[in-house]
Amino acid sequence: MADLITQTDVAARMGPLNASQLQRVDALIKDASALARLEAPWLETTADDEVVLQVNNGKLTLPARPVTKITSVHLVGIPTPGADLPLPAGSWAFDGIDTITLSTDGGWMVNFPEAWWDGDGPGTARVVYSHGFTVTPDEIVGVVANMVIRVLASPSLVEGLTGENIGQYGYQMSQSAGAAGAGVRVTQADRAVFRNPKFRRGYTTVQTPIG
């Protein structure tokens, strides 16, 4: 899986990397990218992911965002068990975020259950769709790069400690989860960005209107 940032992203914020930092930076970038994906599963980019979803009041809620493409929508077990009915263009609509609305117009339906005439739609639907950011958002690049920089800037500190040397004096400033140290960590500030609704909800992508 591709890393979320590059050495260039780190150097742009930290300045030129020395020989020791260059030896570690690629591994730290990989660690930081993996931790970021654990905190923010929406960073996964997947093409043609297939899911079976419950239909609630004629709507399907896609679990992963942002949605970049909807390839197909099938009604499961329609017209008969073991068979799935592909929905044609114009029979469903995507809101550009995470919800597909199914049309209740019977004009396009073939051999559908009589219960549909009474307003009872299908129980489940199978959706093939693509999701994830094709380009890592700038805000996320900054956060992941700073996760790496915190380690590179304090390579000799005990993990969980931050400090600095001024002249002949050394100062130990804090000991806390997510502080700079031997390994990459996620701070509360990082987590707030990863969980920002702006990213979890995604952006407007594709829409197929009900005709």
Residue spans of the chain under pLDDT 70: 79-80, 104-122, 155-182, 200-211
- Looking at residue 155, its pLDDT comes to 57
- Looking at residue 205, its pLDDT comes to 39
- Looking at residue 113, its pLDDT comes to 54
- Looking at residue 129, its pLDDT comes to 93
- Looking at residue 110, its pLDDT comes to 52
pTM of the full structure? 0.59
C-alpha–C-alpha distance, residues 206 and 73, integer Å: 14
- Looking at residue 160, its pLDDT comes to 47
Both tokens of 52, joined, read 């079976």
- Looking at residue 210, its pLDDT comes to 39
Q: What is the pLDDT of residues 27-62, one digit of tens each?
A: 999 999 999 999 987 787 777 889 999 988 889 999
